[in-house]
Structure 1
Amino acid sequence: MAKNREIERRRTFAIIAHPDAGKTTLTEKFLLFGGQIQVAGAVKSNKIKKSATSDWMEIEKQRGISVTTSVMEFDYKDYKVNILDTPGHQDFVEDTFRTLTAVDSVIIVVDGARGVETQTRKLMEVCRMRKTPVIIFVNKMDREGRDPFDLLDELEEELQIGVRPLSWPIGQGARFRGVYNIFEDKLDLYRPSKQVVTEKVEVDINSDDLFNYVEKDLAETLREELELAAVYPDFDRSAYLGAEMAPVFFGSALTNFGVQELLDCFVQIAPSPLPTQAIEREVEPDEPKFTGFIFKITANIDPNHRSCVAFCKVCSGKFVRNAPYLHVRNNKTLRFSSPTQFLAQRKTTIDEAWAGDIIGLPDNGTFKIGDTLTEGELLHFKGLPSFSPEMFKYIENADPMKQKQLAKGIEQLMDEGVAQLFTNQFNGRKIIGTVGQLQFEVIQYRLLNEYNASCRWEPVRLYKACWIESDSAAELEEFKKRKYQFMAKDSSDRDVFLADSAYMLQMAQSDFKKIKFHFTSEF
């Protein structure tokens, strides 16, 4: 039973949102409640000089945005919580998509004034596709914003999911007084504090004692709104787990309103580790044998050692330090003497991990995203694609003395999945493909600051990169001859066709019927 108890108490989830909705700030407050940090940092604030724990890269601290998924774990009450704080910026959406393959549930953060935004919609589509249970946190209630009922209507319509408020705001903006916790049927009042957790005050909502804490008009409005909120269906955990209903909480991450209510409810209702679908079969978390897959690789978590870390989601069984595990793609047995768990950049060596945990494995080029580790079974986990890039540039060395550093930096950053590298077969030049302009800036910055290598970008006019394959070797050969100057190899040495216009791609597809053109790398 010990094993099942360990798996049962795991809660592995991602926090996702549109940029600047308050994801990273919410993560900080969770860490504060989990006792992992004493003072919560701000993502970008003149008043708080401490930067957010999960934004550990120098460029993240400067710009006040997350550019990579951070993994953090802590114990809360009887639960072991694994948080993945994802980038909100659309240029890093691929990192977020991959992260969603490694979690069992999701918390979506929505700005109370701006409501549902583009990125929120896109990310919700991925959750819906994967049937991932979601909880919604409406943030920034300490600022003037939208009416709570209007927001709930918009959430239902835009995210195409039923909603059920489990907390209710008392006022908003300057007159925000706290939240009524519907889930626990009590009122919680907070005093705004950006850096420390403040005391709760409990009071019977139907008694006149309420007027000692909340102005009479706000108290009466609260009672009316709670009566109206009864139109929403009762909370049903099975509907939440089936991704048909999203519980909604209101609060302010920055000032600590409503965060503990969210966390207390989350650990109770969120799913423990779920089965993972492999190509061969479905893997259950409580199987005795260890299985896991690599969903992310990060270079330079420790800048002093220039080391890479591969993030492995444990899908089943128990991972044990120094035990032999099969690397399925390479067909090699590996042992890991220093597996780690994380609080963003800080890491500690662990002796064991259970299904649901995220562990860091030292990587010297052994792993690629999507790799599987098992105790001998040949399994391949699905759902970790790279998407066809939308922007392309030649990358050139700006300092001939630093050729080795540049090559190493490009190799490690591409392994992270930050962007994709294509080598043009016609002229041998290296092309970087990304889904957004900001990625080029991040790559250039990180090459300089982490590898001491300077690069420059040169324009290249391309429309799309497509992976190609065919059952007809002759037709494939003919295609590669005809399109020689547009052919490239990706970092896995697969053939890629670089179309310079939509017309050229259409013509290629109609001229070569036996060739399959793929717009994600997973085929």
Structure 2
Amino acid sequence: MPILNLGILAHVDAGKTSLTERLLHAAGVIDEPGRVDDGNTQTDSLALERQRGITIKSAVVSFVVGDTTVNLIDTPGHPDFIAEVERVLSVLDGAVLVVSAVEGVQPQTRVLMRTLRRLGIPTLIFVNKIDRRGADPGRVLGELAEKLCPAVVSMGSAAGHGTAGASFTPSGDEPAFAGRLLDVLADQSESLLAAYVHDESSVSYAGLRAELAAQTGEALAHPVFSGSAITGAGVDALIAGIEELLPAAEGDPEGPLSGTVFKVERGPAGEKIAYVRMFSGRIRIRDRLTFAREGESGAPREGKVTAISVFDRGGAAPGPEVGAGRIARLWGLADVRIGDTIGLPRKAEAQGHFPPPALESVVTPVRPGDRGALHVALAQLAEQDPLISLRQDDVRQEVSVSLYGEVQKEVIEATLRDDYGIDVAFRETTTICVERPIGTGAAVEVIAKDPNPFLATVGLRVERGPRGGGVEFRLEVELGSLPYAFMKTIEETVHETLREGLHGWQVVDCVVTLTHTGYWARQSHMGGGFDKSMSSTAGDFRNLTPLVLMSALAQAGTMVEEPMQSFRIDLPADTAGQVLPVLARLGAVPRAQFPGMLAGDIPVAGVHALEQQLPGLTRGEGVLECDFDRYQPVRGPVPERPRTDHNPLNRKEYLLRVVRRV
């Protein structure tokens, strides 16, 4: 049976969880569709999701459409939980983007559609809530073409919108619909246009439908359906469209093993459960698997599969194996992490569909005795969310957690309280900056030569790299001049040390070149035993490298840059005068101003304040859309971030901490 792994994506409150419920009901999986407001939906299983009425974690359910098994993945809509969407995108065969017929195209809608098109994921659009007061499917269709993609085509007509009796009628082979199809499809296909120009009669309606399926499968065209997830209007037409227009999963069950872990959760006993999308081959119980993340150094991790649960026909059922195209839950992989590749990696794809979190906050336990338990709990939460990282400050006994927004902070606080019994407090949220080298610096310390106390020679040069290039490690020494283990230790320590630059922020976009090396070979005393005092070890290179690197970085100098977002505000024209002074106070720079619209750039630090003030400034009619744009140099005093390392910028302090002597 063909398999389709389908994602449901939307701006928050557009109704995607309600649509998931309606699809399950139409497929006969559930007797009655649950309601988000009642907290009885299939995919929002967390207590916190039911309380808040929003999706926080992605969830998988399965149903059958015709002769196709659909594994449906419901994703969060709130931008604070974009990390959940991030990892789901890599396992999808197709998507349904839900748009409200009342609110229309919203900020997150545009972010999601840009990403879906960039990744080439076939996407249908469902205009939901046509039964709501204020619904206007025609206006929304125009917004879709203007703001998302011109290659959208309505697959039918809505009647009675704005009333409880609203309905959707699919279009057939009537000339008007065929003309609309031809207009959209011919823009993407020269052969279709040529055939029509040469002989109009040669382009049949069946041919147009086949071309629509082909262009939809290539993410060139996007069919639009309308309806109501609450009443069920238009849902049957959407289901037919899913079966006809979205391509099924590909993959050879007998091919080489290849899969991706897109979600990790913990079971009742604390055991790890890995959600895996299989692209090739098959996994059986008791198979020993290797898994690793792209770019990860060291040997791949291993684990033995102790149980398998495969999603099929309504839910997940235990099974002896899982094959290509399917999604399954695996038990027994204790060291597995989100983003791991099982077996062979897929073809190279751009990593990171969304920007990393740009905010952080220190979290402290209300009861000091919970400090150890808090660190364990936060580590488990970060384990389930690879875009969320922790910074452990052993000096101050504090932990900082990176965030996308204030709602996420509230959810973390509630999760720690309800699931772990730990009451916590968050400090004020701050912006995460980065540092970039502004020049070139070099340093070297030679073995057995003061002031170097380590049995190692390390020389490094630091210089600027291209924007977006990350940290590149190069060699200016011969590979055989140093044992490979020592060379690898230097490289790993360089990356680790650059997490905190001259001002405490992560150093990005630089080139670090190894210019000098030296070591003392393994020595033994008269009794034949290993003499550490006369032999270089990996620890010597691990301890010396930060001193050399930070000395070179200090010569090069760094510039601290803060994250900037591009913004667009749609607002009543007569309220722009009240908004502009607020933008100026928040450090925003308007780039364009038209009646009813303001656009420009704003520091991430000012976005939350703008969100809070905008409704009062615009009579509740202002709509803010923000998207990460770039980093730019900080204006004013350079922000300092407290260090959590051994501070290699201060030689005396560093040596006292590392070797307990100066």
TM category, shorter: 0.7 to 0.9
Q: Does 1:360 align with 2:362?
A: no
- Output the CA distance in 1 between the equivalents of 2:301 and 2:117: 36
Equivalent of residue 96 in structure 2, options 107, 118, 122:
107
Alpha-carbon distance, 1:319 to partner = 2.7
- Output the CA distance in 1 between the equivalents of 2:255 and 2:473: 40
Distance verdict in 2 for CA 1:399–1:169, change over 3 Å: same
Deviations 1:17-48 (A, max 9, x none): 1111110000011111232211210011xxxx
Equivalent of residue 454 in structure 1, options 392, 399, 423:
423
**Greater relative contact order (Cα 8 A, min sep 6): structure 1 or 2?**
1
TM norm structure 2:
0.60
- Output the CA distance in 2 between the equivalents of 1:133 and 1:316: 20
Residue 13 of structure 1 corresponds to: 6
Residue 141 of structure 1 corresponds to: 130
Deviations 1:113-150 (A, max 9, x none): 22111101000011111011110111111124454443
Q: Does 1:391 align with 2:341?
A: no
Amino acid in structure 1 at the alignment position of 2:261: I
TM norm structure 1:
0.74
Q: Does 1:400 align with 2:393?
A: no
- Output the CA distance in 2 between the equivalents of 1:340 and 1:266: 25
Q: Does 1:315 align with 2:285?
A: no
Q: Does 1:166 align with 2:155?
A: yes
- Output the CA distance in 2 between the equivalents of 1:425 and 1:506: 30
Amino acid in structure 1 at the alignment position of 2:361: K
> Does the 8 Å CA contact 1:105/1:132 hold for their aligned counterparts?
yes
Q: Does 1:262 align with 2:264?
A: no
Residue 278 of structure 1 corresponds to: none
Q: Does 1:246 align with 2:209?
A: no
Alpha-carbon distance, 1:394 to partner = 0.8
- Output the CA distance in 2 between the equivalents of 1:118 and 1:232: 28
Deviations 1:385-424 (A, max 9, x none): 3843221111212223334432221111001117221234
Residue 174 of structure 1 aligns to a residue in which SS?
A: coil
Distance verdict in 2 for CA 1:163–1:461, change over 3 Å: closer
Distance verdict in 2 for CA 1:147–1:403, change over 3 Å: closer
Runs of 5+ consecutive residues of structure 1 not aligned to the other structure: 1-5, 186-222, 275-283, 509-523
Q: Does 1:118 align with 2:111?
A: no
Residue 24 of structure 2 aligns to a residue in which SS?
A: helix
- Output the CA distance in 2 between the equivalents of 1:460 and 1:427: 18
Q: Does 1:325 align with 2:289?
A: yes
Alpha-carbon distance, 1:379 to partner = 6.5
> Does the 8 Å CA contact 2:15/2:229 hold for their aligned counterparts?
yes
Equivalent of residue 413 in structure 2, options 429, 436, 444:
444
- Output the CA distance in 1 between the equivalents of 2:168 and 2:114: 29
Deviations 1:235-258 (A, max 9, x none): 421111111111111111111111
Residue 479 of structure 2 corresponds to: none
Q: Does 1:471 align with 2:484?
A: no
- Output the CA distance in 1 between the equivalents of 2:143 and 2:373: 50
Deviations 1:204-225 (A, max 9, x none): xxxxxxxxxxxxxxxxxxx998
> Does the 8 Å CA contact 1:462/1:499 hold for their aligned counterparts?
no
> Does the 8 Å CA contact 1:486/1:499 hold for their aligned counterparts?
no
- Output the CA distance in 1 between the equivalents of 2:256 and 2:473: 37
- Output the CA distance in 2 between the equivalents of 1:415 and 1:264: 38
Residue 237 of structure 1 aligns to a residue in which SS?
A: helix
Equivalent of residue 21 in structure 2, options 28, 42, 49:
28
Residue 378 of structure 2 corresponds to: 410
- Output the CA distance in 1 between the equivalents of 2:418 and 2:235: 36
> Does the 8 Å CA contact 2:274/2:330 hold for their aligned counterparts?
yes
Runs of 5+ consecutive residues of structure 2 not aligned to the other structure: 185-207, 294-298, 437-469, 475-489, 508-541, 547-557, 564-602, 604-630, 636-662
Deviations 1:282-313 (A, max 9, x none): xx5566222101122234xx4x3334322211
Alpha-carbon distance, 1:155 to partner = 0.9
Deviations 1:155-204 (A, max 9, x none): 11211241122232122122745222226x6xxxxxxxxxxxxxxxxxxx
> Does the 8 Å CA contact 2:561/2:634 hold for their aligned counterparts?
no
Alpha-carbon distance, 1:466 to partner = 7.0
Amino acid in structure 2 at the alignment position of 1:396: T
Amino acid in structure 1 at the alignment position of 2:106: E
Amino acid in structure 1 at the alignment position of 2:341: T
- Output the CA distance in 2 between the equivalents of 1:149 and 1:359: 40
Q: Give the superposed CA RMSD.
A: 3.8
Greater alpha carbon shift after TM alignment, 144-153 vs 239-248:
144-153
> Does the 8 Å CA contact 1:164/1:232 hold for their aligned counterparts?
no
> Does the 8 Å CA contact 2:302/2:333 hold for their aligned counterparts?
no
Distance verdict in 2 for CA 1:175–1:369, change over 3 Å: closer
Distance verdict in 2 for CA 1:359–1:325, change over 3 Å: same
> Does the 8 Å CA contact 2:303/2:333 hold for their aligned counterparts?
no
- Output the CA distance in 2 between the equivalents of 1:249 and 1:165: 6
> Does the 8 Å CA contact 1:393/1:431 hold for their aligned counterparts?
yes
> Does the 8 Å CA contact 1:54/1:343 hold for their aligned counterparts?
no
Residue 334 of structure 1 corresponds to: 303
Equivalent of residue 288 in structure 1, options 239, 255, 268:
255
- Output the CA distance in 2 between the equivalents of 1:402 and 1:380: 45
> Does the 8 Å CA contact 2:6/2:72 hold for their aligned counterparts?
yes
Greater alpha carbon shift after TM alignment, 417-426 vs 446-455:
417-426
Deviations 1:310-352 (A, max 9, x none): 2211111223233232224653443212122459997432222
Residue 275 of structure 2 aligns to a residue in which SS?
A: strand
- Bigger Rg over Cα: 2
Distance verdict in 2 for CA 1:170–1:95, change over 3 Å: same
- Output the CA distance in 1 between the equivalents of 2:55 and 2:67: 30
Alpha-carbon distance, 1:478 to partner = 13
The count of corresponding residues between Structure 1 and Structure 2 is 441
Alpha-carbon distance, 1:451 to partner = 1.5
> Does the 8 Å CA contact 1:104/1:132 hold for their aligned counterparts?
yes
Distance verdict in 2 for CA 1:53–1:344, change over 3 Å: farther
